[in-house]
A and B are shown apart, each in its own frame.
Chain A
Amino acid sequence: MAEVSLKGVKKSFGRVEIIKGVDIHINDGEFVVFVGPSGCGKSTLLRMIAGLEDITEGTLEIGGRVVNQLQPKQRGVAMVFQNYAIFPHMTVRENIAFGLTIAGASRQEKQQKVAEAARILQMEHLLDRRPSQLSGGQRQRVAIGRAITRKPAVFLFDEPLSNLDAALRMDMRMEIGRLRRQLGTTMIYVTHDQVEAMTLADRIVVLKDGQVMQIGAPMELYHEPANRFVAGFLGAPSMNFLNVDVLELDGEVAMVGNQSLEPIRVATRRRPFRKDGKAILGVRPQYLRPVHSGKGLLHGIVAHAERLGSETVVDLTLRDERELIAAFNEDKVFEPGVALELTFDTALAHLFPDEGELQTH
C-alpha cells in the first residue's frame, strides 16, 4: 500500500503537450477516479503512473519514492486494461499466476495465491478454461485476478468496464467496489463514465485538455462544481446553462434574469461578475419543477418528452428560442406544443462567469 503523488507532471509527444502540469496527491488506500472526455489525457496520465509512458517533466512518487526513472515492475503497480490484455494461449489459472511465474514463484505458492484470487473473484470453476471460452466480464475478472495475486502497492484501472455491455458493467462495477473494500489498496481508476466515477470514487479528478479541472469527493463535485466544465460534465442529463444578464450585484448575491427567466437572486460564490454584464446560470434538470400558478421562473413550450417510468425528461423551447432540459421524477404526460412554467430552488443554481464560449444545444 502506498501514497501516490504527482507534482507538476507534464507530458509532451514531440511538440504537442498532452499533460500540462498536473498536481495530485492520492492518500494510502484511497480510490481515486480520473474522469474526463476522450482526449483529455486521463489514460496517458495513468500510463505515466504505470511506467508505460515517460514523464516529460515533474515528479511522480509512489510510497514516498520518486519513480520517474523506474521500470513498471519496480514501481509495485498492477494494471487492468480496457481490452483485458489476458494471454489467449494460457488458461485462466496460468493467466492469474503469470506474475508469479515471471517472478519464479514455487508451484505451491502459485497454487495457493491463485486459489485465493479465484475465491475473492468467485471464479474457482473457471480456472481451467481458456480466455476464448469466457465472456467479457469473466475475462476482465481474470485480468483483475492477475493484478491482485501480486499484492501491488497501487492498482491501476484503465477503463476496465468500457468493453462490457450495460448490465455486465453494473455487476462488475459493484464487484470492483466490493474488491476495493476487501483489499483496501490504493486504486486509481480511469473512466469516461461519470456513473462509475460517482459510485466508486473517494475522490474524483476531473481532467480536460491535460489539466485538472477539479479534485474532490463525488458529491462535492456534483453540488459545488468549481467551474462550468465540471458542472456540465457530471450529472445526467447534464446541467442547463442559460445566458443571463446581471441586473444587480450585492456582495455575495447577484440578481440575474433574461427574456425567459424572471429575475432571481443567486449566490456568486466569490466568482467575479459585473453589474450589467453577462453571466451563465446553471440549473440541473432534476431541480426544475412544473408550476401552474403563474409564478414560474422559466417559461417555455414543450418540444419533446421522454417517459422513462421513474422519470420524465422534457425538452423545452424557451421564449428566447433556447432549449432547456427538465427531468421530473414522476411519470407524467407532456404534450408537445403545450406551454409550461417551471420553478426551481435558486439556492441550488450556480452562476458562472461568461467566458464567451457557451454553445447552444
Chain B
Amino acid sequence: MASKLTLSNRAGWTFALPGFALIFTFIVLPFFFAIGLSLTNQRLLSPNPTQFVGLENYQQLLGLAVVTLEPERNDAGEMIRNAAGEIQYPRLRAITRSDDYPQYRGMREWFHWQSGENVMIVIASDVVFMKALVNTFLFVLVVAPVQGSLALMLALLINHKVKGINLFRTIYFMPVVVSIVVVSLLWRFIYDGQNGLLNSILQALTFGLFQPVDWLGSPSTALPAVMAMSIWQAVGFHMVIWLAGLQTISPTLYEAAAIEGASRWQTFRYVTWPGLRNTAVLVLVVITMQGFALFAQIDVMTNGGPLDSTQTLVFQAVERGYGKQDISGGSTISVILFAIVLAISLIQRWLTRER
C-alpha cells in the first residue's frame, strides 16, 4: 500500500530502523542460517572444513524402521524357551550391527510390541529426538485445550462488574508477569519429593495417608508436573485475551437473549461462544506455538530427565547445538519444528475458518 505513511516518512523510517535491524539480525538472519546449516555438518568448533551433506541430518533425526524378530528355533523347528518358559528371540544387535542390513546400522530400539509369536520393534536412528517429538506433541495436546478452556472460565468469571473484581484479575494475571525461570525454580520446591509444598498439602489433606511422590524425579509424573505448572503460569495471559474477546460482544445481544428467555448455558452457547470465534483461533494458535517452544521449564526443572521423559524439541535443539556443539543437528531440529508449527497453524486456520 503506497501511502504517505510508508513513502514520504523519513523520520518514521529512522525511528523504525533500530527495531528492524534487531529483528533482521536476530530473527530473519538466524532463520535462514538454520535452514542453511541444517544441510551441512557444521560444528561450533571444529578443525575440519564444513561440508555440504544434503539431507543427511534429517535422515539421521527422522530415520525410523520396524523390524520383526522371530523366535529362535532349534533344528527341529521348535521354539526355544528359557527356564521360565519365555520364548527366546535373537538380540536386536544381530540386525542393527549386521552387514546384511546396512540400512539399520546404528539404529536403536524406540519401543516394541508382541505380535503373535513375533516381536515387532520400532527402531529409530535418534531415539532421544523421537521421545522429544512425542513429549512435545503430548504437551501441546494436553496444554492447549486445558489451558485454553481454563482461561476462558476465568475470563467469564471476572467479566462481571463486581466490587473488587480488579483484585482477582490481578491475582490471575500475576504469574504471567513473573519470569518463567523464577516460576520454574519456585515450582521445583513445590514439587520436591521430600518436603515439597504439594506433598505436604496432599499429606495434610489425607491425614498422612498420602505417600510422598518425587514429582519431577519419576518418569511417569515429570511431564504431567511440567504441564500443570505451565498451564498455571500462562493461563492469566490467555484469560486476558479471552476477556478482550468477551468485551467485543455487544451487550444488546445479551439483552436480546435474555428477553428471548435464554438460560445461562444457552446464552453462552448461542451468544458468547460464537462471538469468541476469532479469539478462540488466536488463543489456540498462541498456546500451540508456546507449547511447541517449551524450553525454560525443562531446562530449569528437569533437564530433559528422568530417563528422557521430559525431552522436548527446543530443549534438544539447544542441547545439541550448544551442549554438544553440533550446531547443524540443532539447526535441523529447529527447521523440523518450524515445519511442524507452520503445518499445524495452517491446519488450525483451515479448521476454524469462516464458513
A residues neighboring B (CB under 8 Å): 50-52, 71-73, 77-79, 81, 83, 85-90, 98-99, 101-103, 143, 146, 150
User: A153: shortest Cβ distance to chain B, in Å?
Assistant: 13
Q: Are A89 and B274 in contact (CB under 8 A)?
A: yes
Please give, as numbers and ranges, the residues of chain B lying within 8 Å of A90 by CB-CB distance: 270, 274
Q: Are B261 and A81 in contact (CB under 8 A)?
A: no
Chain A: which residue is nearest B260 at the CB level?
A: A99
Q: Are B256 and A85 in contact (CB under 8 A)?
A: yes
Chain B: which residue is nearest A101 at the CB level?
A: B270
B residues neighboring A (CB under 8 Å): 250, 252-253, 255-263, 266, 270-271, 274-275, 277
Please give, as numbers and ranges, the residues of chain A lying within 8 Å of B255 by CB-CB distance: 50, 52, 79, 81, 85
Chain B: which residue is nearest A82 at the CB level?
A: B252
Which residue of the partner chain, among B261, B263, B270, contacts A87 with CB atoms under 8 Å? B270
Which residue of the partner chain, among A50, A52, A73, contacts B261 with CB atoms under 8 Å? A73
Q: Are A87 and B274 in contact (CB under 8 A)?
A: yes
Please give, as numbers and ranges, the residues of chain B lying within 8 Å of A88 by CB-CB distance: 274-275
Q: Are A99 and B274 in contact (CB under 8 A)?
A: no
Cα–Cα, bound, A103→B270 (Å): 13
Q: Are A83 and B252 in contact (CB under 8 A)?
A: yes
Give me 15 other A-B pairs in contact (C-beta within 8 A), A73-B258, A73-B260, A79-B256 excluded.
A50-B259, A52-B258, A71-B261, A73-B262, A77-B259, A78-B260, A81-B252, A81-B256, A83-B252, A87-B274, A90-B274, A98-B257, A101-B270, A102-B263, A102-B270
Cα–Cα, bound, A271→B255 (Å): 45
With A81-B252, A102-B266 known as contacts, the answer to whether A87 contacts B271 (CB < 8 A) is yes
Please give, as numbers and ranges, the residues of chain B lying within 8 Å of A50 by CB-CB distance: 255, 259
Q: Can you list 29 A-B contacts with CB-CB less than 8 angstroms, sorted by A residue number?
A: A50-B259, A52-B258, A71-B258, A72-B259, A72-B261, A73-B258, A73-B259, A73-B262, A77-B259, A79-B255, A81-B252, A83-B252, A85-B250, A85-B252, A85-B256, A86-B256, A87-B256, A87-B270, A87-B274, A88-B274, A98-B260, A99-B260, A101-B270, A102-B257, A102-B260, A102-B261, A102-B266, A146-B260, A150-B260
Chain B: which residue is nearest A78 at the CB level?
A: B259
Chain A: which residue is nearest B271 at the CB level?
A: A87
Q: Are A103 and B259 in contact (CB under 8 A)?
A: no
Cα–Cα, bound, A85→B271 (Å): 11
User: B354: shortest Cβ distance to chain A, in Å?
Assistant: 9
Please give, as numbers and ranges, the residues of chain B lying within 8 Å of A83 by CB-CB distance: 250, 252
Which residue of the partner chain, among B258, B263, B277, contacts A72 with CB atoms under 8 Å? B258
Please give, as numbers and ranges, the residues of chain A lying within 8 Å of B260 by CB-CB distance: 73, 78, 98-99, 102, 146, 150
User: B43: shortest Cβ distance to chain A, in Å?
Assistant: 55
Cα–Cα, bound, A72→B255 (Å): 9
Cα–Cα, bound, A101→B263 (Å): 12
8 tightest A-B CB contacts, nearest first: A73-B261, A85-B256, A89-B274, A85-B252, A99-B260, A72-B259, A79-B259, A72-B258
Q: Are A103 and B261 in contact (CB under 8 A)?
A: yes
Please give, as numbers and ranges, the residues of chain B lying within 8 Å of A87 by CB-CB distance: 253, 256, 270-271, 274
A50, A77, A98, A150 pick with most chain B CB within 10 angstroms: A98
Cα–Cα, bound, A101→B277 (Å): 21
Q: Are A98 and B252 in contact (CB under 8 A)?
A: no
Cα–Cα, bound, A85→B253 (Å): 5
Cα–Cα, bound, A73→B253 (Å): 15
Please give, as numbers and ranges, the residues of chain A lying within 8 Å of B262 by CB-CB distance: 73, 102
Please give, as numbers and ranges, the residues of chain A lying within 8 Å of B258 by CB-CB distance: 51-52, 71-73
Please give, as numbers and ranges, the residues of chain A lying within 8 Å of B277 by CB-CB distance: 89
Chain A: which residue is nearest B255 at the CB level?
A: A52
Chain B: which residue is nearest A98 at the CB level?
A: B260
Chain B: which residue is nearest A84 at the CB level?
A: B252
User: A132: shortest Cβ distance to chain B, in Å?
Assistant: 10
User: A187: shortest Cβ distance to chain B, in Å?
Assistant: 15
Please give, as numbers and ranges, the residues of chain A lying within 8 Å of B259 by CB-CB distance: 50-52, 72-73, 77-79
Chain B: which residue is nearest A152 at the CB level?
A: B259
